[in-house]
Amino acid sequence: MHIQPLTIPDIVLMTPKAHQDERGFFMESFNLRSFAQAINGRYGFVQDNHSHSKKQVLRGLHYQFRQPQGKLIRVLQGSIYDVVVDLRQSSATFGQWLGVELSAASQQQLWIPPGFAHGFLTLTESSDVLYKTTDYYRPEDEHCIRWDDTHLAIAWPLQGPPMLSQKDQQGVPFSQAQLFG
Higher local confidence (pLDDT), 24 or 88: 88
Of 43, 63, 81, 131, the catalytic one is 131
CA 30 to chain centre: 16
Please determine, for residue 94, whether its predicted confidence score (pLDDT) is greater than 90. Answer: yes
Distance CA 139, CA 80 (A): 24
Give the torsion through C-alpha atoms of 143, 148, 151, 153, to 10 deg.
130
Least confident of 34-38, 94-98, 104-108: 34-38
Q: Check whether 25 has a pLDDT greater than 90.
A: no
Q: What is the pTM for the complete model shown?
A: 0.94
Q: Does domain 2-16+30-176 have CATH number 2.60.120.10?
A: yes
Domain residue spans in the chain?
2-16+30-176
Active site annotation includes 62: yes
Give residue-wise pLDDT tens across range 112-123: 999 999 999 999
pLDDT for 100 beyond 90: yes
Counting every residue written for the chain, the total comes to 181
Question: One of 62, 63, 81, 118 is an active-site residue; which one?
Answer: 62
pLDDT at 15: 92
Tell me if residue 131 is catalytic.
Answer: yes
DSSP per residue over 31-69, as a string?
Answer: -HHHHHHHHTS-----EEEEEEEETTBEEEEEEESSS--
Residue whose C-alpha is closest to residue 71's, from 12, 132, 157: 132
Give the pLDDT of residue 41: 84
**Stretch 49-72: mean pLDDT, rounded?**
97
